[in-house]
Amino acid sequence: MTNGRVEVAALVGSLRRQSYNRGLLRTAMLLQPEGMRIYEVPIDRLPFYDEDVERQGDPPPVRELKTALARADALLILTPEYNYSISGVLKNALDWASRPSGRSVVRGMPAAIMGAAAGRSGTMRAQLHLRQILLYLGAVALPEPEVYVTFAADKFNTLGELTDQTSLDQARQLLRNLHAWTLMLHASRG
């Protein structure tokens, strides 16, 4: 924690330029409470996870990922839903972050999840899978509020900004909870 400020590493599970989930990240950066700084950790240059590659030493994009995550106090994951689960690129990033086995770089870290999808589920199924994955990584997923941006085409303007008031309120509350919870965990660990 820098000067009492909660540093939050954000992973966006979509590489699409006009991604709604990247729009969600921009929104989160606007809504972040005082005493919190959210920064994106890019995942687009990561190679596919391969244990043979790992044995020769983490490639530079993997080292950068792990360093950026390790210096964070909390995680924010903006996830799309692909075929009822998270995207391959996000899973790949989490697989690298989970290594070496049992020494996940996000162990013990509070994690908040938001997601936007084209359909009516608003990433609900992807988020449930993500919670299961985070369990193995030892990150502690915030229970509420759940932020499911459904029918995303109707909830973002042409600049890619989230305009739906209910989603905005939920996102703001989630970030407040993440802030409070991270401070609490930090205090309890002395």
Ligand X SMILES: Cc1cc2nc3c(=O)[nH]c(=O)nc-3n(C[C@H](O)[C@H](O)[C@H](O)COP(=O)(O)O)c2cc1C
Binding site for ligand X (CB under 6 A): 14, 16, 19-21, 80-84, 117-119, 121, 152
A 10 A CB-CB count for 190 gives 4
The nearer residue to ligand X, 33 or 119, going by C-beta atoms, is 119
The nearest distance, CB 120 to ligand X, in angstroms, is 7
The nearest distance, CB 84 to ligand X, in angstroms, is 5
Q: Are 140 and 177 in contact (CB under 8 A)?
A: no
Give me the DSSP letters along 50-76.
-HHHHHT---HHHHHHHHHHHT-SEEE
The nearest distance, CB 109 to ligand X, in angstroms, is 23
CA-CA distance, 116 to 147, in Å (whole number)? 8
The nearest distance, CB 12 to ligand X, in angstroms, is 7
For residue 156, give both structure tokens: 């973002």
The nearer residue to ligand X, 39 or 82, going by C-beta atoms, is 82
Q: Are 23 and 161 in contact (CB under 8 A)?
A: yes
The nearer residue to ligand X, 81 or 164, going by C-beta atoms, is 81
The nearer residue to ligand X, 140 or 149, going by C-beta atoms, is 149
